[in-house]
């Protein structure tokens, strides 16, 4: 982010975006869309975040497109954050972890999003594998969708909310790296649309992935108000706000650079 600008761009081949680009809702359209985004941005932006569901819906051929996108993006120097939001227990969670965090996997990524709502401890296979291979994990904590509040704002017996508990658990996971003077590898997903979050301690010692900028209504100028002193640890995510400028590669680059500059100016 210091070198390329503070921005994560999603690769979300929605059916509506494929249509807007003049592409078919088929493997050829998916491949053209994905290749265009990767070729335009992978050498320029800090992070690319493919949403795996939009590839999985095309079956094995869609997953093959995703595999190629991950490999090409990482080869071009971008960090790849796989937006999979996996969450399970035991051996199943271990299999999910191996899919995205084992270097032997064709879907090996620099980080993956996970859901902790079977209990934070259920994520242990992913956390341990990420630590072993120098990868990262982003845990859903305070998400931008309105439905998230019924779980994340629920109050536990000790008086803390579930969302606050996720942040505290991440702080504990990052403590060894923080003591060593580096930013931890375990981040939280915290929506940029949530307004004032001063009631939450966002200083988790790791990055904060901030979806919601662009199509969902948040702007880079909102980041200091939402994240306060933790704004420098924010990884702002923009998807449709950039992708809608395709299929012209130069327009995609210009949109990404504009968002990155706006974030840099807002964060100070």
Using the structure block, give the residue that is written with the tokens 């301690």: 201
For 128, phi then psi, to 5°, come to -70, -40
Per the structure block, which two tokens stand in for 23?
């592409």
Q: Is 49 a catalytic residue?
A: no
CB burial readout 210-219, b (16+ within 10 A) else e: bbbbbebebb
Closest to 242 measured CA to CA, from 214, 203, 219: 214
CA 81 to centroid of chain Cα atoms: 5
Single out the catalytic residue among 74, 85, 225, 244. 85
Rounded to whole angstroms, the Cα distance separating 94 from 100 reads 10
- Which helix (DSSP H) or strand (DSSP E) does residue 164 occupy? helix 162-179
All residues at 6 or more sequence positions from 154 whose CB lies less than 8 Å from its CB, including other chains: 161, 162
Catalytic residues: 85
């Amino acid at each position: 982010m210091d070198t390329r600008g503070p921005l994560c761009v999603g690769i979300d081949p929605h059916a509506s975006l494929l249509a807007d680009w003049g592409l078919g809702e088929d493997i050829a359209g998916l491949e053209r869309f994905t290749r265009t985004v990767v070729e335009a941005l992978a050498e320029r932006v800090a992070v690319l975040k493919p949403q795996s569901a939009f590839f999985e819906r095309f079956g094995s051929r869609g997953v093959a497109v995703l595999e190629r996108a991950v490999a090409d993006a990482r080869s071009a120097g971008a960090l790849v954050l796989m937006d999979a939001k996996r969450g399970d227990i035991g051996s199943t969670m271990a299999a999910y972890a191996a899919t995205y965090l084992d270097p032997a996997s064709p879907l090996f990524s620099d980080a993956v999003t996970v859901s902790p709502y079977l209990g934070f401890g259920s994520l242990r296979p992913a956390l341990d594998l990420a630590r072993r291979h120098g990868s990262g994990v982003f845990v859903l904590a305070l998400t931008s969708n309105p439905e998230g509040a019924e779980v994340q704002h629920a109050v536990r017996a000790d008086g803390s909310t579930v969302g606050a508990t996720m942040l505290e658990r991440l702080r504990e996971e990052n403590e060894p790296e923080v003591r060593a003077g580096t930013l931890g590898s375990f981040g939280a997903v915290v929506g940029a649309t949530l307004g004032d979050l001063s009631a939450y301690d966002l200083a988790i010692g790791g990055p904060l992935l901030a979806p919601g900028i662009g199509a969902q209504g948040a702007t880079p100028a909102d980041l200091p108000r939402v994240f306060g002193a933790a704004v420098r640890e924010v990884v702002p995510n923009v998807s449709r706000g950039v992708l809608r400028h395709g299929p012209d590669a130069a327009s995609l680059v210009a949109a990404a650079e504009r968002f990155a500059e706006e974030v840099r100016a807002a964060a100070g």
